[in-house]
Amino acid sequence: MTNKDLNTVLDLFCGCGGMSLGFEEAGYHVLLGIDIWKDALETYKYNHKQSKTLCADMASLNPSEVEKLLDGQQVDVIIGGPPCQGFSIAGKRIVDDERNQLYKGFVRMVEYFKPQAFVMENVPNILSMGDGIIKASIIEDFQSLGYNVQTKVLTASDYGVPQNRRRAVFVGTLNSTFDFEIPSVEHKVTTNEALSDLPEGSLEEGAAYPTEAQSEYQKLERRNSSGVYNHEITVHNEQTKRIISMVPDGGNYKDLPKDLQGTRKVHIAWTRLNSLRPSITIDTGHRHHFHYKWNRVPTVRESARIQSFPDDFIFMCSKTSQYKQVGNAVPPLMAQAIAEHLKKNLWKKIK
């Protein structure tokens, strides 16, 4: 087998397709994206025109049904991030509880297709949940299928993403070892470098860029785009804007007068992005973090920039849904770094 032969991907829990995009940019062909959320699949279909989609519940999906959609093509890599927050364990094992069926669906697909590798991502605390029992059980499940499994917590800003998002990543390789030391970038992209070319106000869909690119990152994000999409601002009430205006670049609720500090009952409330650093982890639209300069939450496009989606990746359905799609996604540049490292370090060992 050659590098060119080993490039087909099945994306489980694909969402809008951030992980798929990273693998595509690394030269893989994503055969199929599977998710139960129709809105995310609308975005996936629009942006991954060479891939098929399937709207299905991974808890009950039979792998043979997936195989019918692949037209006889082998699956070299399975990727995805099954929700694992509700894990149920007994002793030192993940049990066959309904709360575990999404994860078990991922395992079933790996067992059925026996890909050369899988990449599974999740929240960092999955490694410490149950005093490490969850992590050990996941590793044991895949080892029983013949996979060498390694895990590490990766920080997105180490791979060119202007965001300090941390994710736990499990990589399993069949009949081969894997060096998990993925090279990181020297320069961490700041929120200013990510967003400074986008205006304070809304833009019509496909509007021309109002300024030239002001950083290398902006040039990268614009490279295939003819204009700006998904840049519709949220109009806050005057009281909200007044409070935001009191918070300095990189500040938070602690910078407000005492009588205003408790107006939102979460510790991340009234947080402004820091223009000189990568962003904090963006959420799915809870509106607790604000632009480093403008007195508003970031637009969907600005959030997409923070996640490293290129400007020609266009989000579909309602604005609320778009925010959720962006916030739930794996940053494409981080996925690309994993995909490239996997190809470089694994495929060369397979004869």
Residue numbers annotated as active site:
84
User: What is residue 278's DSSP assignment?
Assistant: P
Distances (CA, A) of 37 to 61, 125, 264, 309: 14, 25, 30, 19
Segment (H or E) for 52:
strand 52-55
Q: Rounded to whole angstroms, how far apart are CA atoms 26 and 192?
A: 27
Instruction: Give me the helix-helix angle, 332-346 and 18-25, nearest 10°.
Output: 50
Q: Rounded to whole angstroms, how far apart are CA atoms 172 and 176?
A: 9
Q: Rounded to whole angstroms, how far apart are CA atoms 78 and 3?
A: 17
For residue 56, list its beta bridge partners.
none
Tokens of 344: 């470089």
Q: Rounded to whole angstroms, how far apart are CA atoms 91 and 94?
A: 8
Handedness of CA 222, 228, 229, 232 (dihedral sign): positive
Q: Rounded to whole angstroms, how far apart are CA atoms 302 and 324?
A: 13
